């Protein structure tokens, strides 16, 4: 049973550029949440997608946007990158329709903005 | 929103000793409390979780206790081993829906010396 997968594993961008990160949820899961983890900090919630809609959003600007596809996979897009966007971006999946609250995390995408 | 505080930030123990990590939360409506272990270069891995209708849960060498009145919960690791060395995060989910976002503590770096 494949766990949560994310791509790419690492990414280097320059300020002002745009980036797209991808996530495939654990088999059977229908919900994807995205978190940003700065160095030495706990993960911070960005947003959550269920039934292809954004259901909840954390305190992140509109430069951060996302999408969920019919197969439950998801993308995180960040526009106009800032140096402060450098972080580990984590995707977590869960099974909301099955009332299973456990969130399983992927390995993350390490983004460096120069 | 919810605020999760975690202590200590670093913890060093001798192999075979016990380790305790404590967290407090602010929102009395929070009802689900997972603990994650994160090794270097990897995503957080769920190690144990507890719901608000349960006071204690144990899984082999790991246990979690919850005091709803005081709004704090703790992770207990007995008979520690060097492979337990990692960063541990506590989290709380606000509200009663399985769509609820997770709020994380800042993490505890646990080092187990052989």
**pLDDT tens sequence across A79-92:** 999 999 999 999 99
How many contacts, defined by CB atoms under 8 Å, are there between A and B? 62
Q: Is B25 on the interface with A (CB under 8 A)?
A: no
CA distance A4 to chain B (A): 10
**pLDDT category of residue A101 using cuts at 50, 70 and 90:** confident
What's the pLDDT band for B4 if we cut at 50, 70, 90?
very high
Q: Does pLDDT of A95 surpass 70?
A: yes
Asked whether residue B7 carries a pLDDT value surpassing 80, the answer given is yes
Per-residue pLDDT at B2 exceeds 70 = yes
pLDDT in tens, A58-69: 999 999 999 999
Nearest CA in chain A to B88: A42
Give yes or no for B88 touching A (CB within 8 A): no
pLDDT, tens only, B79-91 = 999 999 999 999 9
SS3 of B4, please? Answer: strand
Q: Considering only alpha carbons, which residue of chain B is nearest residue A5?
A: B43
Q: Chain A: give the shortest CA distance to residue B18, in Å.
A: 23
Quick check: A33 contacting B, CB < 8 Å? yes
Provide the pLDDT for residue B98. Answer: 65
What does the mean pLDDT of chain A come to?
94
With 80 as the cut, is the pLDDT of residue B74 above it?
yes
Predicted local confidence at residue A97, as pLDDT: 74
- The three state secondary structure string of B27-70 is CCCCCEEEEEEECCCCCCEEEEEEECCCCEEEECCEEEEEECCC
* CA separation for the pair A105, A109 (Å, rounded): 12
Greater pLDDT, B66 or B53: B66
Say whether A31 and B99 touch across the interface (CB within 8 A): yes
Q: Rounded CA gap, B37 and B51, in Å?
A: 18
Bond from prior residue into B8 cis (ω within 30 degrees of 0): yes
Distance CA A42, CA A1 (A): 27
Model confidence pLDDT, tens digit, residues A34-45: 999 999 999 999
Which chain B residue lies closest to A39 (C-alpha atoms)?
A: B106
Mean pLDDT of A30-35: 96
């Amino acid at each position: 049973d494949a766990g949560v997968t994310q791509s790419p594993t690492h990414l280097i961008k320059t300020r002002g550029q745009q980036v797209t990160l991808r996530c495939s949820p654990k088999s059977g899961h229908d919900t994807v949440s995205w978190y940003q983890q700065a160095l030495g900090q706990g993960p911070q919630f960005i947003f959550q997608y269920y039934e292809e809609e954004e259901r909840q959003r954390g305190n992140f600007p509109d430069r951060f946007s996302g999408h969920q596809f019919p197969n439950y996979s998801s993308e995180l897009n960040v526009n106009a990158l800032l140096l402060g966007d450098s972080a580990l971006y984590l995707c977590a999946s869960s099974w909301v329709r099955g009332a299973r609250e456990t969130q399983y995390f992927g390995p993350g995408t390490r983004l460096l903005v120069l | 929103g919810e605020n999760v505080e975690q202590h200590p930030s670093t913890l060093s123990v001798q192999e075979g000793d016990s380790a305790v990590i404590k967290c407090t939360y602010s929102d009395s409506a929070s009802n689900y409390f997972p603990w994650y272990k994160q090794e270097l270069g990897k995503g957080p891995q769920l190690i144990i979780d507890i719901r608000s209708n349960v006071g204690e849960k144990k899984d082999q060498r790991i246990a979690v206790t919850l005091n709803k009145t005081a709004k704090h919960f703790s992770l207990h690791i007995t008979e520690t081993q060097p492979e337990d060395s990692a960063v541990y995060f506590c989290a709380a989910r606000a509200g009663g829906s399985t769509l609820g976002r997770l709020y994380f503590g800042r993490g505890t770096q646990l080092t187990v010396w052989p």
